[in-house]
Amino acid sequence: MSAARWLIGGLGVVLGAYGAWLALTRQDAGQLVEIAVWLAAGVVLHDVVVAGVVLAVVALARRVLPEPWHAPATLGLVVWGGVTLMAVPVLGRFGARPDNPTLLDRPYLGAWAALTVASVLVVAVAGLVRARRGTGA
């Protein structure tokens, strides 16, 4: 293992330990239970729901799309799907309050639509390039 990996891994362990120390010293027992539930739910949602949906869509796409399009479509789905999941709170305007118009005041839907179009274009270009070169098998 390279020195950079050890450094990054060590930094991650230190930051994780600092976050755990902050949580344990500044939160009450009820908040610690909520943190544990939130962390467990996140892992379960990701590993069961999101990963399951992505694998099902990729398996379906592999049956429909030609071979050179498999990798670009998979990468496009993973990037677009991940960003879309992260954007759900702002796209749904959860937390918006009429008495504070500065909350969620950006054109999030337009930005998400632009990302969607960009993702489709990148996948299309990569798929066409790979098909033209005859790669992907």
pLDDT single digits (tens) 59-84: 998 899 999 999 999 999 989 988 99
User: Residue 1 falls within a domain, yes or no?
Assistant: no
Asked if residue 135 has pLDDT above 80, the reply is no
Give the total number of structural domains in the chain: 1
- Token pair listed for 106: 């950006």
User: Residue 19 falls within a domain, yes or no?
Assistant: no
Asked if residue 94 has pLDDT above 80, the reply is yes
User: Residue 50 falls within a domain, yes or no?
Assistant: no
| CA dist list (Å): 65 to 45, 97, 123, 127 | 28, 44, 12, 10
Q: What is the pLDDT of residue 101?
A: 86
Residue 98: CA count within 13 A, CB half-sphere: 0
Q: What is the pLDDT confidence band of residue 136, given thresholds at 50, 70 and 90?
A: low
User: Residue 11 falls within a domain, yes or no?
Assistant: no
User: Residue 25 falls within a domain, yes or no?
Assistant: no
Determine the Cα–Cα distance for residues 34 and 123; give it in Å rounded to an integer: 40
Q: What is the pLDDT confidence band of residue 137, given thresholds at 50, 70 and 90?
A: low
Q: By residue range, what is the domain housing residue 86?
A: 66-136
